[in-house]
Chain A
Amino acid sequence: MVHWSAEEKQLIASVWAKVNVEQCGAEALARLLIVYPWTQRFFDNFGNLSSPTAIVGNPKVRAHGKKVLTSFGEAIKNLDNLKGTYSKLSELHCEKLHVDPENFRLLGDILVIVLAAHFTKDFTPACQATWQKLVGVVAHALAHKYH
Chain B
Amino acid sequence: MLTAEDKKLIQQTWGKLGGAEEEIGAEALWRMFHSYPPTKTYFPHFDLSPGSDQIRCHGKKVVAALGNAIKNLDNLSQALSELSNLHAYNLRVDPVNFKASRERDGNGDRFLSQCLQVVLATRLGKEYSPEVHSAVDKFMSAVASVLAEKYR
Please provide the chain B residues from 104 to 135 with a CB less than 8 Å away from any CB of chain A in the complex: 104, 108-110, 114-115, 117-119, 121-126, 128, 130-131, 133-134
User: 1/0 per residue A46-59: CB within 8 Å of B?
Assistant: 00000010011000
Measured CB to CB, the nearest residue on chain A to B105 is A102
Q: A35-B137, A119-B122 are in contact. Are A129 and B114 (CB under 8 A)?
A: no
Chain B nearest CB, measured from A112 CB (Å): 6
> B115 — which chain A residues lie within 8 A by C-beta?
128
Cβ proximity bits A31-43 to B, threshold 8 Å, 1 near / 0 not: 1001110000000
Cβ contact within 8 Å between A116 and B134: no
Q: Does A106 contact B (CB under 8 A)?
A: yes
Across-interface contacts of B118 in A (CB, < 8 A): 112-113, 116, 123, 128
Interface residue? B71 (CB, 8 A): no
Evaluate contact between B34 and A109: CB separation under 8 angstroms.
Answer: no
Q: Verify A102–B104 contact, CB threshold 8 A.
A: yes
A82 interface residue per 8 A CB criterion: no
Q: Which positions 26-82 of chain A face chain B at CB distance < 8 Å?
A: 27, 30-31, 34-36, 52, 55-56
Question: Nearest-CB distance from B106 to chain A (Å)?
Answer: 9
Query: Which residue in A34, A55, A105, A117 is a CB contact (below 8 Å) of B126?
Result: A117
Residues of chain A within 8 A of B36, CB atoms compared? 132
Q: Give the residues from 97 to 147 in chain A that come closer than 8 angstroms, CB to CB, to chain B.
A: 102, 105-106, 109, 112-114, 116-121, 123, 125-126, 128-129, 132-133
7 more CB-based (< 8 A) A-B contacts, given A123-B118, A125-B30: A27-B130, A35-B130, A35-B137, A112-B114, A120-B125, A123-B121, A128-B34
User: Interface on A for B, CB 8 Å cutoff?
Assistant: 27, 30-31, 34-36, 52, 55-56, 102, 105-106, 109, 112-114, 116-121, 123, 125-126, 128-129, 132-133
